[in-house]
Amino acid sequence: MDSPFVLVNLKTYQEGMGSNAHRIAAAAETVAKESGAVIGIAPAFTELHPMSHHYAIPVYAQHIDAITPGAHTGHILPEAVRSAGARGTLINHSERRLTLADIGACVESARRLHLETVVCTNNDATSAAAAALRPDYVAIEPPELIGSGVSVSKADPGIIERSVNAVRAVNPDVNVLTGAGIQSGECVKIAVDLGTCGVLLASSVVKADDPEAVLRDLVSLL
Ligand SMILES: O=C[C@H](O)COP(=O)(O)O
């Protein structure tokens, strides 16, 4: 398999803003270099440009809107995310849900702009629906475990396995990530052993006193 992918979503945690975002990005860059894992970050929109220009790690937007340039106010234009240096974008995160029609339109816009797409889902049925849209990744995250400190890998490995099977049945070219409560190398290994190519996570790294140590542990068993 390709190098495992660890995507750290900084969300709107205070700990992921400003100089802390730089600290997390620097830690990700160091651990990625050491380990060979691909470690990306999804910072606040205002930090896409500084992160993508200061660090040699892939940077992702947390969301895009399915709009084209023109008269829209308060939206996230996919072209703007692209020119800020993003490699790709999350779409339909559990904390920023969209209709299926909007998810499809976002995937299409991103594809046109050569932005990688990570469509988040909450169960195996939505994972299958997302796979039909041909994103680069489907990220399965049971909402009740997000930010809970309880790892999906340990609490509900079945949802990972069912989602991997559902996605493969629809489109084997779509990669699967898993997330919710991921916090250790053991969590990541379970997810990878179940057929995913990596993890989407936030709190265990963003809120850590020593993000570099947590990242090092996350990739330690791969
Ligand atoms: O985008 C990340 C996920 O929602 C997981 O968040 P968490 O690692 O804090 O559970």
Give per-residue pLDDT as tens, 126-157: 999 999 999 999 999 999 999 999 999 999 99
ipTM of the modeled complex: 0.99
Q: Is the pLDDT of residue 196 over 80?
A: yes
Task: Give the number of other Cβ atoms within 10 Å of residue 60's Cβ.
Answer: 26
Residue 98: closest CA among 127, 114, 120, 115: 120
Distance 110 CA to ligand 1 centre (A): 22
* Domain spans, the chain: 5-218
Atom of ligand 1 nearest to the CA of 145: 10
Task: Give the number of other Cβ atoms within 10 Å of residue 177's Cβ.
Answer: 27
Cα–Cα distance for residue pair 183/218, rounded to 1 Å: 7
34, 141, 144, 186: the active-site residue: 141
* Residue indicated by tokens 């398999």: 1
Which tokens go with 204?
A: 């265990």
Q: How confident is the model at residue 27 (pLDDT cuts 50, 70, 90)?
A: very high
CATH architecture of 5-218: Alpha-Beta Barrel (3.20)
Distance 87 CA to ligand 1 centre (A): 20
189 a known binding residue?
Answer: no
User: 157-170 and 185-193 are packed helices; what angle lies between their axes, rounded to 10 degrees?
Assistant: 40
Contact between 62 and 9 under an 8 Å Cβ cutoff? The reply is: yes
10 a known binding residue?
Answer: yes
Q: Is 22 a catalytic residue?
A: no
Q: Residue 87, Cα to own-chain centre: how many angstroms?
A: 12
pLDDT value at residue 130: 98
pLDDT > 90 fraction of the chain, expressed in percent and rounded: 98
Q: pTM (2 decimals)? A: 0.97
What are the CA-CA distances from residue 129 to residues 2, 135, 174, 178 (Å)?
Answer: 25, 11, 12, 16
What are the CA-CA distances from residue 1 to residues 42, 167, 184, 192, 214 (Å)?
Answer: 23, 17, 21, 10, 23
Distance 180 CA to ligand 1 centre (A): 5
* Shortest-distance Cα residue to atom 2 of ligand 1: 201
Give the helix ranges, DSSP H, for the chain: 18-35, 48-54, 78-83, 100-112, 124-131, 152-155, 157-170, 185-193, 203-206, 211-218
b/e burial code for range 68-96 (CB count within 10 A of at least 16 → b)? eeeeeeeebbbebbbebebbbbbbbbbbe
Mutation probe of ligand 1 site: the residue of 201, 205, 215 with most atoms within 8 A of C-beta: 201
Give residue ranges with CB within 6 A of ligand 1: 9, 93, 141, 146-147, 179-182, 200-204
Q: Residue 31, Cα to own-chain centre: how many angstroms?
A: 17
29, 47, 93, 212: the active-site residue: 93
Q: Quick: pLDDT tens for 33-44.
A: 999 999 999 999
Cα–Cα distance for residue pair 147/154, rounded to 1 Å: 15
Q: Is 79 a catalytic residue?
A: no
Distance 71 CA to ligand 1 centre (A): 33
